[in-house]
Amino acid sequence: MDDDALLKAFETCAFPFDQWHHDAHIKIAYLYLRRHPLDQAIAKIRAGIKAYNAANQVPEGPDRGYHETMTQAWVRLVHLALCEYGPAETAEKFFEQHPELSQKKVLRLFYSRDRFMSPQAKAGFVEPDLAPLPRSSKG
């Protein structure tokens, strides 16, 4: 699926639910960051994931549904990679060029389990308690 089709499928909630995995989240974050500043990209992916979850009847619960800190942390890491290494030809190629972004458990380097799984982290962005998220000086 090309980038425009991927973004359209996500925004219209037509992306196949059985394919909505970590890599798709990273690619969507990349596509929004290519089109919008960081804060706007975060707002768009937040709204999009919430709409997508609702359309696919994903229940909200302590360990299910939308997680604000998870979303923001990943978008910030994608932003870092984009600022430091530049864009790729496609979202798929960007994901392939950045295997560090494929490691779903990488947020454990920044967040303790208690902080990450807290209701506060699910509802709103909380800063990491183990190490700060890296930031690019380029963007």
In a domain, 83, yes or no: yes
How does pLDDT run across 61-116, given as a tens digit for each residue?
878 899 999 999 999 999 999 999 999 999 999 999 999 999 999 999 999 999 99
Number of domains in the chain: 1
- pTM of this prediction? 0.94
**Using H for helix, E for strand and C for coil, what is the string for 30-62?**
HHHHHHCCHHHHHHHHHHHHHHHHHHCCCCCEC
In a domain, 130, yes or no: no
In a domain, 44, yes or no: yes
In a domain, 112, yes or no: yes
Report DSSP state, residue 133. P
What range defines the domain where residue 30 resides? Answer: 3-11+20-123
